[in-house]
Amino acid sequence: MRFTGVKGLHPHMQKILLTEEEIQSRVRQIAGQISSDYAGQDPLLVGILKGAFIFLADLVRYLTIPVQLDFIAVSSYGNASESSGAVRILKDLDQSIEGLHVLIVEDIVDTGLTLNYLRENLRAREPASLKVCTLLDKPSRRLVEVKIDYNGFVIPDEFVVGYGLDYNGHYRYFRDIMVLKREVYAR
pLDDT of the chain, 187 residues: tens digit per residue: 344 443 458 999 999 999 999 999 999 999 999 999 999 999 999 999 999 999 999 999 999 999 999 999 987 755 555 555 678 899 999 999 999 999 999 999 999 999 999 999 999 999 999 999 999 999 999 999 999 999 999 999 999 999 999 999 999 999 999 999 999 988 7
Q: How far apart are CA 126 and CA 172, in angstroms?
A: 33
pLDDT computed for residue 157 by the predictor: 95
pLDDT computed for residue 75 by the predictor: 79
Q: How far apart are CA 39 and CA 24, in angstroms?
A: 22
The pTM of the full predicted model, rounded to 2 decimals, is 0.90
pLDDT computed for residue 4 by the predictor: 46
* Active-site residue (options: 37, 92, 94, 110): 110
Centroid of chain to Cα 165: 8
Of residues 45, 40, 19, the one with CA closest to residue 30: 45
Centroid of chain to Cα 67: 18
Q: List, in order of start, the domains of the chain with CATH numbers.
A: 13-77+85-178 (3.40.50.2020)
What does residue 104 show for φ and ψ, rounded to 5 degrees? -75, 130
Q: For residue 53, what are the β-bridge partners?
A: none
CA contacts within 13 A on the Cβ side of 140: 6
pLDDT computed for residue 79 by the predictor: 52
Residue 92 annotated in active site: no
Q: How far apart are CA 173 and CA 162, in angstroms?
A: 6
pLDDT computed for residue 3 by the predictor: 46
Of residues 61, 136, 70, 60, the one with CA closest to residue 97: 70
Give whole-number Cα distances, 126 to 88, 104, 120, 152, in Å: 20, 14, 10, 27
Q: Which amino acid is at 160?
A: V
pLDDT computed for residue 6 by the predictor: 39
Q: How far apart are CA 39 and CA 62, in angstroms?
A: 14
